[in-house]
Chain A
Amino acid sequence: MRPYKPKDNVQKKSYYTDRFWVAPRIPEESVEDEVYKADLESLAKAVNYKKAYIMRGQLVIIIDAKDNVATLKHLKEECGYEVLSEMSAIDYLAQDGEFEIFYQLLAMSKRRRIRVKCRIKENEAIESVEPIFRSADWSEREMYDMFGIKVNNHPNLKRILMPEDWVGYPLRKTYPLHGDEAAQWYEVDKIFGKEYRDIIGPEQRDPAYVSTTDTCNFARIHHEVPRCADPNSEPEKIEVFNDDALLTETFDLKKAKIVDRNR
């Protein structure tokens, strides 16, 4: 029987986990810091945030996905968080059928960092924050490229890192590490056409492909066997033909001196 492999998360997993293992959690501390407290009070006037806590020294605010523009606008204009240093998503499709989107903000005047998080369903779109933070232009494109999350009212929502005709979204947990079918044949399909897949075959497609039955490639250097012979049979003696070539000297193992250690 083949071992069961979940289809919704094909990423690498630990091969052994103790059955009584319970992973510890980083505590979600309550907000004690004065600056963060003031920010939260100010934010509460503009939007209804769901939850706020401190994790490893940074404030995390969880909001509703439809409030993202209002929240970020308020944080920028009223609280001084004027740099969006990072934003992206986390794939929780296997667990909850949702993406978690996070915005990492920085207030340079207060030396504080905030992470604003929200969740959306797989086929939902999120509103673009590009009008507030110009840097979201490329981050949202990257998020779309990697997760396939649509962003409403984005000025130029195209793939950024992958080619524009790429199939699939690489950072989803369902995307295999060695690429899916379309990824493996991408170059062949593009240069020769789909009908050439059979003619070219996986050996020719992948320059790093090493066949164990191959008898005449670099993988078997010094262990060459006759063509099409069993690779485990006795290696063939390779004659060197350019013995009398000008300025070259054939390496002879018998004459070579083997030193015990490096100087």
Chain B
Amino acid sequence: MQQRNRLEPYFENLAFERDDNTMVVNFGPQHPSAHGQLRLILEMEGEQIKKAHPDIGYLHRGMEKMGENMIYNEFLPTTDRMDYIAATANNYAFALAVERLLGIEDKVPRRAKVIRMMLLELNRIISHLFWLATHALDVGAMSVFLYCFREREYAMDLMEDYCGARLTHSAVRIGGVPLDLPPGWLDHLNVYLQKLPDQIKLYEGLLTENRIWRMRLEEVGVIPPEMAKQWACSGIMLRGSGIEYDIRKEEPYELYDEVDFDIPVSDRCDSYGRYLLYMEEMRQSIRILRQLIPMYKETEPELMAHAPEYISAPKEDIMTQNYSLMQHFVLVTQGMRPPVGEVYAPTESPKGELGFFIRSEGEPYAYRMKIRAPSFWHTGILQDLLPGHYLADVVTIIGSTNIVFGEIDR
């Protein structure tokens, strides 16, 4: 009698099949290093991958459909659930698209812009720290995970102080921000910004020259510039391939043209180059945040745009003036009616180019809402990127693409 393969119970997650000389390995959808519900069907020859089929859709909640059946303000908290690592980036991308559709982008008060940028950059730091923690954990560096999560926790505390939520912020509204910074928040931010550079040095000390880290990352997941363009890569996936394009710099929104920051670019094209960029981007975010603190102090206290047909008046007006109350009532019960037309607004989220395409037919519900999530294409590229690599590199490559399934499946 043939003996059963004794290893079988330990690999419950991987289904093996043999097909001629190649073996088909089913990686996921519940694999801990798949960063969510990614199912990879890998055709392997020995340890080497011959063909890869990323299979997505395990987290599909129909957000675009929901966007067509909710009034604009109602949909905003739903966007939190896309890239749940950096929720404000989604809220902001949506708010910006609607503001452009309404034509009130310039009416957003300066203080709201400064607060939004603070939140966006803080979210970028949170997201990059999370990326570094999980990526290092996947590759095998346990302690980096613990250090990164400590710093991330402080940043999340700052977010919590501002809006009360730690993960799903909804801290940006269409037309501005709902709240001013609480007293003492800027001091806390300052303390955090003073501590963080030393911590980044600590992570780099643990990783940058680490022999194992370099062996696992160098020359792994090489994306030539041509391939990056073909696959519509954006963010660090694009800049890691030597193409300098950052939407904050090239098509500036908010006050990004007033602050001073650099766009790090690497022409190494591999996972290690992308790791270096993530570290440098965190430093640049710190630099932006430092410039924003004095900018905040010079602004007027106004927080929401004045556009009575689209945006509710301030609370004082609603409570004291009859017409403001009526408009507020209509905006809450029926929703704003943007003009007929369409808009595509790209923003630079921590993952890449996050854009909302909104087609409006003049109704309070969007006629079509298409969410351009960067991770969707960064997952698609896996089918061209993985063949030729070894199974152990799959985890590194998935990690370095920084995908999050909330926004792939939407």
Q: Is the CB of A86 within 8 A of B365?
A: no
**Stretch of B25-33, B59-67, B271-279 lying at the A interface:** B59-67
Stretch at the interface among A11-19, A201-209, A233-241: A11-19
A88: interface (CB < 8 Å): yes
Given known A12-B69, A170-B65, contact A133–B372 (CB-CB < 8 A): no
Instruction: List A contacts of B103 (CB < 8 A).
Output: 26, 56
Instruction: Report yes or no: B100 in contact with A56, Cβ–Cβ below 8 A.
Output: yes
Cross-interface CB contact of B372 among A12, A85, A90, A160, cutoff 8 Å:
A85
Q: Is the CB of A177 within 8 A of B69?
A: yes
Contact B353 A134 (CB under 8 A): no
Q: Which residues from chain B sit less than 8 Å from chain A, CB to CB? A: 56-57, 60, 62, 64-66, 68-70, 100-101, 103, 227, 229-232, 234, 243, 245, 250-251, 334-335, 337, 339-344, 346, 353, 355, 357, 359, 361-365, 367-368, 370, 372, 376-377, 380, 384, 409
Q: Please judge, given known A-B contacts A55-B342, A134-B384, A170-B62, whether A12 and B232 are in contact too, CB under 8 Å.
A: no
Query: Is A150 in contact with chain B by the CB < 8 A criterion?
Result: no
Which residues A9-39 have CB closer than 8 A to chain B? 11-16, 21, 23-26
Contact A24 B363 (CB under 8 A): no
Given the contacts A11-B365, A85-B353, A135 and B230 also touching, CB distance less than 8 Å: yes
Residues of A within 8 A of B353 (CB): 85
Residues of A with C-beta under 8 A to B243:
108
- Measured CB to CB, the closest approach of chain A to B92, in angstroms, equals 18
Does chain B have a CB within 8 A of A258?
A: no
What are 9 sample pairs from A and B whose C-beta atoms fall under 8 A apart? A16-B334, A25-B340, A55-B342, A82-B229, A90-B359, A90-B367, A108-B245, A160-B56, A175-B65
A121-157 to B contact mask, C-beta < 8 Å, 1/0: 0000000000001110110000000100000000000
Given A104-B344, A160-B56, 10 extra CB contacts under 8 A:
A16-B334, A23-B340, A26-B342, A83-B232, A86-B370, A86-B372, A91-B368, A134-B227, A160-B57, A163-B57
Q: B365 contacts A13, CB within 8 Å?
A: yes
Q: How far is the CB of A129 from chain B (nearest CB, A)?
A: 12
Complex: chain B residue closest to A175, CB-CB? B65
A177 and B230 contact, CB distance less than 8 A:
no
Residues of A within 8 A of B66 (CB): 177
Interface class of chain A by DSSP: loop
**Cβ 8 A contact of A13, one of B341, B357, B363:** B363
Residues of B within 8 Å of A85, CB to CB, are 232, 234, 346, 353, 355, 372
Nearest B residue to A134 by beta-carbon distance? Answer: B230
B379 closest partner in A (C-beta): A138
- A171 touches which of B64, B229, B359 (Cβ 8 Å): B64
CA distance A58 to B355 in the complex (A): 14
B62 contacts across to A, CB distance below 8 A: 170
The answer to whether A11 and B69 touch (CB under 8 A), given A90-B359, A134-B384, is yes
Q: Is A75 an interface residue (CB 8 A)?
A: no
Q: Hey, which chain B residues are within 8 Å of A91, CB to CB? A: 368
The residues of B that contact A108 with a CB separation of less than 8 Å are 229, 243, 245, 250
Contact B346 A83 (CB under 8 A): no
Q: Is there an interface contact between B361 and A177, defined as CB atoms closer than 8 Å?
A: no
Q: Whole-angstrom distance between the alpha carbons of A91 and B231 in the complex? A: 26
Cβ–Cβ < 8 Å partners of A13 in chain B: 363, 365
Known: A16-B334, A25-B341, A108-B243. A161 touches B60 (CB 8 A): yes
- A228 CA to B380 CA in the complex, in Å? 54
Contact of B232 among A15, A24, A84, A160 (CB under 8 A): A84
Interface 1/0 per residue, A47-68 and B, CB below 8 Å: 0000000011010000000000
Smallest distance from the beta carbon of A75 to chain B beta carbons, Å?
14
Whole-angstrom CA separation of A5 from B377 in the bound complex: 39
Residue of B nearest to A15 (CB): B334
**Chain A residues in 8 Å Cβ range of B337:** 21, 23
Find chain B residues with CB under 8 A from A135 CB: 230-232, 377, 380
A161 adjacent to B56 (CB under 8 Å): yes
Known contacts A85-B234, A86-B355; is-contact A138 B377 (Cβ 8 Å): yes
Chain A's closest residue to B408 (CB) is A161
Say yes or no: A162 contacts B57, CB within 8 Å.
yes
Determine whether A263 belongs to the interface, using a CB cutoff of 8 Å to chain B: no
B341 closest partner in A (C-beta): A26
Q: How far is the CB of A34 from chain B (nearest CB, A)?
A: 17
**In contact, B376 and A138 (Cβ under 8 angstroms):** yes
Is A222 interfacial (CB 8 A cutoff)? no
CB distance from B352 to the nearest CB of A (A): 10
B330 to chain A: closest residue by CB: A16
Indicate if the CB atoms of A24 and B365 lie closer than 8 Å: no
A113 at the interface (CB under 8 A from B): yes
- Cβ B340 vs Cβ A26 within 8 A: yes
Instruction: Identify the 9 closest CB pairs spanning chains A and B, nearest first.
Output: A23-B362, A26-B341, A135-B232, A134-B230, A161-B57, A138-B380, A24-B339, A12-B69, A86-B372
* A115: interface (CB < 8 Å): yes
Determine if B230 and A104 form an interchain contact, defined as CB atoms under 8 angstroms apart.
no
In Å, the complex CA distance between A23 and B101 comes to 13
A261 at the A/B interface (Cβ < 8 Å)?
Answer: no
**Distance in Å from the Cβ of B33 to the closest Cβ of chain A?**
22
Counting CB contacts under 8 A, is A111 at the interface? Answer: yes
User: A residues within 8 A CB of B60?
Assistant: 161-162
B76 CB, min distance to chain A CBs, angstroms: 17
